[in-house]
Structure 1
């Protein structure tokens, strides 16, 4: 019987042979504080949410009007030349014109806080809907264009083939019909913003002879519940990142190229309460009234304790950027602030010291950041979210029904990538905030507007992995994992963005690696042998 040479690696006696050490590549990391909220008494919620839409329109209206002028300058139909209209209420019936404004979509199943308040004396967070569309009444959806002067309803067959969502800033070309609706024949968006050059904010590190490029690791949806079901998958992931897997030095050498791990939300499972079945054997007593609305007996500390142990095991070897998600202990409204260091008694020693003044503190080896988050890693600009933005925009779009007549609201791989492409071209990472995503009521600035086009745009907790490359006005390249993004240091080359749909690790067991020089993507999948495959 033939013996696998790799099996002998585990059966050999101890050896005195000296092995070369594998040193991890250096991480060049410079985060931005784009989404940090004011602290203490400076954070308040008395202001109106409408200011966010006006701020967004004021920021993006010049860009979308510039795109409209380049496309529609001199455009005419039957000798009538299209003219620009400053406000939506200045549109006149029968005149060919174009106007810029904010999209608002009135949909039958979309939550409405005003309706809830008229029915109840108080309201809670509405349960998430699978879709805001009513497939039995597709005509009930109304798309409107609004600015500071008023609203104008949009109609036309063009709208059925155009991706739109509440909060997007667009310019519409058309004419007002006899019903008072604006029949659009073309729509323009701001398109990609200026993309910073690599190492624009940081000094380029000196090149070393024989040095290899590093890799940035992305994972999301660890879904730690504190039970034994988490142990195997987390152990495999930990062993790989620390270079413990494999019987040769090649695996540890590949792991040493990973410069940073980005965890994109939902590190904890959806439930952190103690299972009631665990106490079935205990005689039930009448529950006393809760003094402060907090029941210590119903809280399960195991998930956050296991997450802390997982991070503490990795942190001596690899720096980590941790984003919160929908199921993590962070505020619900966007932007979610970083998970507090007090939740990580073992890992917080790797955090940066608390700021003592206005001076910026250097980020620590363990950086608990906001969601969304923006920053520079290995000289590249990254912009990412834990996935709530993509999931919410997906509820606005029309999908074909399945065989049973149900709406397929999960969307296929291409649908989610196209939504992310649309966000980049809208220059807004969370367009549906504050309408259908709860948000802090910003009054002086809308941080969800992308001031700069990122090199890597990612969304976590998606059903499946997918990637694409977006280039200016060119259509995106689906499954462009092998595409090299060269030429980004040249100012004459247009923006190029690597888009990543990061899957839920608990469901797929997939870790995403991005080469820090070429931005090529590879997937490392962790799993166990199911026994169903044919043995060779």
Structure 2
């Protein structure tokens, strides 16, 4: 009997349980052990000077090589030998004197004084009278000059400065050279991507941050989950829970994060809806295919929020004893996270990173959550208790990310809008220019980078740093211009700070000055020796992304992951094209119920 001819038409999907879609997989390698696990280090009351010295020793050869190539006619000098050199190049670490910067001595003075020493308003501590000094192992000198704006820098950045000493003993800067983006491994070949594209299957990484804490529901909310490209329209992946029982209070009418903020029931349902999508409990074949393409989930910190606790319990955290009822209330977020991870890891591998609000050490690098906190999830090999920062390779794509503390701290210490030099928009506009021309800078002065990148729109995806425009239609444009402009400015600030981390070759340049960090002695693990393909930061105000190209053909995707508890959004990253999508959970109201017939 001859074999049947192969079918050339579309394959029909069997109905019922006869068809089960296989979840996509990708090779994974966690690389946190060497740089970020501190169990092999022993604390012996060491100070932080060695951390600065090792940072300078690591980045000095890079800057010296770039300075000799850029200014071959100028000598290289130390801080103490400036008077004998004239115009020269000095390599050192920046230290920024800030009057508004928090200080333990000032805190002690406030406690002893009836009036505060310094009135600090808002989150920023940037002042008009801030000054910057450049220091090496032998001394320090104050930097002056029109090309050097203190508000655009943070303490801890290693740079090479061209200039000369003036009559007052200050170093007048003429040009500043940054380390630039490090070298990068080649992006994975497109052979496997073409195969998946032919099968209409994508490999996606889901990133989510700041999960809501499920509480006892006070209302019966309605929910909708939508997976959308960036920006919308939505793909209509929806689900509605059963209506409230007779006599129950009406559900919350909030949408998205507003609905989640009105009651704990909304937060619980939103988290359950996210779990359903990630585990593949969806309805249509298209939605199932998209869910099956999620090869891994990364929870980028702040997954145990204690903000819902009564104010009286916050004062008992450091006490020696707790009431049994209080202990149960404080353990509820951790138990909820354990249950969530146990259910999620049964369907897809999960990396959980600690954050600022999680029960982990405060200083970076934050160590993995202890297995006793997650007794159910720790039993599964598919749950990786990662560090913060987290470095891993997935499908040949190198990822590096934090829970957002480094970006938040940098945002307090500098004005991100000053980091957008005129050369960056010009480089972004010249998409056809050669990579070498992007890093070239004249000798007239300014800020340049030995491996600086340029920002470009992503291929096939609209650029997100301009904000999510067109969400509400043309009717909302006139009314929301000011709000959208502010949102776009915040998104651009976050992305600019992330890009500067790459160009400064340091994940957390403000540590240990204003950001807690472990006092490493032999090296600085936060120095970037290789360039990742994707650099993400969790717990940001809203979603934003940017594709940065370096002069040595580096390609880095910057992703700002929003807080899920506030925006009800997670981020999907395509491993083949570095395309970003938004997975959004919303809470539309129930349709009005018809009045019951009168008796």
Q: CA separation of 1:399/1:334 partners in 2, compared to 1, >3 Å: closer, same or farther?
A: closer
Query: In the alignment, which residue of structure 1 is the partner of 2:331?
Result: 301
- Residue 385 of structure 1 contacts residue 459 of structure 1 at CA under 8 Å; is this kept in 2? yes
Structure 1's 530 and 178: CA in aligned 2 closer, same or farther, altered over 3 A? farther
The 3 A distance-change label for structure 1 pair 16 and 149 is closer
User: Could you report, residue by residue, the CA deviation over 1:75-114 in whole angstroms, capped at 9, with x for unpaired residues?
Assistant: xxxxxxx3221x1121128921111100111101112345
Alignment: residue pair count = 448
Cross-structure match for 1:292: 320
2:102 maps to what in 1? 111
8 Å Cα contact 2:541-2:562 kept in structure 1: yes
Aligned residue for 1:262? 298
Give the secondary-structure state (helix, strand or coil) at the position aligned to 2:160: strand
**2:560 corresponds to which of 472, 489, 501:** 501
1:279-311 deviations in Å (ceiling 9; x for gaps): xxxxxxxx99x9835565433211111111111
Two-structure CA RMSD over aligned residues (Å):
3.2
Structure 2 equivalent of residue 378 of structure 1: 395
Q: Give the unaligned 5+ runs of structure 2.
A: 1-13, 113-119, 218-263, 418-485, 592-599
Match of 1:160 in 2: 149
- Structure 1 length normalisation: TM-score? 0.77
2:569 matches 1:510: yes
SS of corresponding position for 1:143:
strand
Contact preservation (8 Å) 2:131, 2:150: no
Please list, as runs of the form range in 1=range in 2, the aligned pairs for 1:324-403 lying within 5 A after superposition: 324-350=354-380, 364-398=381-415
Counterparts in 2 of 1:69 and 1:296: CA distance versus 1, 3 Å: farther
1:131 aligns with 2:124: yes
Does the 8 Å CA contact 2:213/2:268 hold for their aligned counterparts?
no
2:242 corresponding residue in structure 1: none
Helix, strand or coil at the partner of 2:147: helix
Which structure 2 residues correspond to residues 422-441 of structure 1 after superposition, within 5 A? Answer: 422-441=500-519
SS in 2 for 1:157: coil
- Is the 8 Å Cα contact of residues 37 and 337 (structure 1) preserved in structure 2? yes
1:396-411 map, 5 Å = 396-398=413-415
Q: Which structure has more helix as a fraction of its residues?
A: 2
State how far apart, in whole Å, the 1-side matches of 2:319 and 2:549 are. Answer: 57
> Per chain length, whose mean CA-contact separation is higher, i.e. which structure has more relative contact order (CA < 8 Å, sep 6+)?
2
Q: SS state of the match for residue 91, structure 1?
A: helix
User: 2:568 touches 2:585 (CA, 8 Å); kept in 1?
Assistant: yes
Residue 156 to residue 218, structure 1, CA distance change in 2 (3 Å): same
Specify the alignment match of 2:164 in structure 1. 175
**Residue in 2 that maps onto 1:54:** 53
For residues 128 and 504 of structure 1, the distance between their equivalents in structure 2, rounded to whole angstroms, comes to 24
The two structures have a TM-score, normalised by structure 2, of 0.69
Alpha-carbon distance between aligned partners in 1 of 2:407 and 2:511, rounded to the nearest angstrom: 12
Aligned pairs for 1:64-79 (under 5 A) are: 64-74=63-73
State the 1:210 CA deviation: 4.0
**Equivalent residues of 2:507, 2:528 under 8 A apart:** yes
Q: What is the CA–CA distance in structure 2 between the aligned matches of 1:303 and 1:180, rounded to whole Å? A: 57
1:327-384 per-position Cα deviation (integer Å, ceiling 9, x unaligned):
001000111001111111221111xxxxxxxxxxxxx310011101111111111110
What are the Cα deviations for residues 501-533 of structure 1, in whole angstroms up to 9, with x where unaligned? 11111111111111111111111211111589x
